[in-house]
Structure 1
Amino acid sequence: MKNKLVLNKELYSYSYIGQAIMVYKRLTDISVIEDEKYWICEFDNCKYGIDRTKKEFENLDKMYQKINQSLANEVLAEVCEMDLYKFETLIVDLFAKMGYGKLQYESHVTRKPGDDGIDGIVTADKLGFDSIYIQAKSYNDTSVGRLDIQKFVGALAVQGAQKGIFITRSIYTKEAIAFVERNLNYKIVLIDGNRLADLMIEYELGVLTQYIYQVKQIDRDYFSEE
């Protein structure tokens, strides 16, 4: 006769099921039935237990993600309030934090005629190999469309380059994203406002670490019998 364990899908992920069912200290083969709200796990002649510690870790991870998302929203709001000069400085600082090499970034005010479409050049490493061209748009409420990306690709072609990074504080239209995905001759990385905020958090630009928690677990090897 089969036993049955019912798990609420809002509380337990599919990957968690393997941790939830134990058979004399080893995992058993199980069949999982999915309905709208529950994972229904059926198994033969076994005992099972739910690892409550893992559940607590999942809750902690969800809280961490929620805090980070709130922080990202705050960061993006601050970035959108920056004037053009401060936004350009942010780009220079971010690439430095990310470990890129020499960055040549020309202000929109001092750019030479005919340089439309290229705001700066960054090297992929500190030795100066492999130049990557940068275009930044300080849009807040206007989406970056396919035409903007096409102009950038055209500017890359004039420079004889194939790699570029396009940065905006807003978002990209579906047409712009599709154009980049189809254009295999050029490697274009699109960074929108949300991705920009995430990178600033990841590389600790404009943010400070407030708390650090160390989560420890038991060392089974220490207590195991040799």
Structure 2
Amino acid sequence: MSTSINLDKLDAKEIVKAVRDGDKNKAAPSDAPDEAVGVIETLEELAWHQQLHKTLLSLEPSAFERLAQRLLRESGFIQVQVTGKAGDGGIDGVGIARISGFLSFHVLFQCKRYQGAVSASQIRDFRGAMQGRTDKGLFITTGTFTRDALKEATRDGAPPIDLIDGEQLVQRLKELRLGVKITMIESVEVDSDWFTKI
């Protein structure tokens, strides 16, 4: 998401007040509580998403590589190793992806903690480092990929490279509950109509 909010200045009471004030101007007051809840949920989604993204950007490169290792292991890869070091040719790690317990293939991965966009030349450099070592690559970034990078990753006649951008990374960490705690809140409502029927 391109919307940016300052997490340090995010105040839930002010958000609720702003939503309620905005809803007073609407013609259908019965929709106001539902719309307020929707706005609050959207802001909460933005807040945790931005906080997680900020945390990822603050990680040391080696910690980000270990996070990628854990992410791949939790996603079903086996024998995942971080190999990133000086002179690694852009290869940060290797793993074996297993499909349905029968088919497996080696995958090399590269990790980039970026705020900007990964370019097509970086995808080509990674593919060059993969040459002769594997048939499949995975490029993980906290940033985004340019349109040309997306085309380069799936170029005909070249080994394919799967891409995981910052948005997908954050969502996958949430799904796997890696560094993210999900709390379910119980909501209880009194059904007054039920009591009138007694």
Superposed displacement of residue 184, structure 1: 5.4
CA distance in 1, matches of 2:187, 2:105: 40
Task: Pick one of 136, 146, 153 that aligns with 2:127.
Answer: 153
| Aligned counterpart, 2:110 | 135
| Aligned counterpart, 1:38 | none
Q: After the TM superposition, which residues 188-207 of structure 1 pair with which residues of structure 2 at under 5 Å, given as runs? A: 188-207=161-180
Distance 1:214 1:83, change over 3 A: same
Superposed displacement of residue 204, structure 1: 0.5
Which structure 1 residue ranges, 5 or more long, are not aligned? 1-51, 216-226
Residue 57 (structure 2) pairs with residue 84 (structure 1): no
Structure 2 SS opposite 1:68: helix
Superposed displacement of residue 75, structure 1: 0.5
Higher helix share: 2
Superposed displacement of residue 136, structure 1: 1.2
Which is higher, the Rg of structure 1 or of structure 2?
1
Task: Pick one of 88, 93, 96 that aligns with 2:70.
Answer: 93
Opposite residue 77 of structure 2, the aligned amino acid is Y
Superposed displacement of residue 80, structure 1: 0.6
Distance 1:213 1:181, change over 3 A: farther
Residue 48 (structure 2) pairs with residue 71 (structure 1): yes
| Aligned counterpart, 1:210 | 183
Opposite residue 119 of structure 1, the aligned amino acid is D
Structure 2 SS opposite 1:125: strand
CA distance in 2, matches of 1:90, 1:185: 28
Aligned 8 A contact 1:162 1:185 in 2 = no
Q: After the TM superposition, which residues 40-189 of structure 1 pair with which residues of structure 2 at under 5 Å, given as runs? A: 67-109=44-86, 113=87, 115-125=88-98, 129-140=104-115, 142-159=116-133, 161-183=134-156, 185-189=158-162
Per-residue CA distance 1:184-204 (angstroms, 9 max, x = gap): 542211111222111111110
CA distance in 2, matches of 1:171, 1:145: 9
CA distance in 1, matches of 2:184, 2:148: 41
CA distance in 1, matches of 2:186, 2:155: 44
Moved over 6 A (4+): 58-63
CA distance in 1, matches of 2:164, 2:131: 21
TM norm structure 2? 0.66
CA distance in 1, matches of 2:119, 2:165: 12
TM norm structure 1? 0.58
Identity %: 27
